[in-house]
Amino acid sequence: MAGKVLFEFVQMGQVMRVAAIDEETGTEVFVITPVNAARIHMERLALAKLRRKLGETEPPPSPRPSGRYA
């Protein structure tokens, strides 16, 4: 996914339907989020779902430090 991603936001009562569309392929996914969630979080969630659908992988999270917590 090297091209642009378009986002569409549609409020439906207390939830927001967020669509992410890959401009190059026309592939579309959508997620449902609380209407009061931050817009950036809505976009990140939709983008992650789109990347999964397109078969892209994100870098793994950094490892947690080993040890015990009291």
Q: From 6, 14, 9, select the one nearest 47 (Cα to Cα).
A: 6
pLDDT digits (tens, 9 = 90+) for 29-66: 999 999 999 999 999 999 999 999 998 765 555 666 66
Instruction: Enter the pTM of the model.
Output: 0.74
Which one is predicted more confidently, 2 or 15? Answer: 15
Could you give the 3-state DSSP secondary structure of residue 13? coil
For residues 40 and 49, what is the distance between their CA atoms, to the nearest angstrom?
14
- Residue 60 neighbours by CB distance under 10 Å: 6
Asked if residues 27 and 50 have their Cβ atoms less than 8 Å apart, the reply is yes
For residues 68 and 70, what is the distance between their CA atoms, to the nearest angstrom?
7
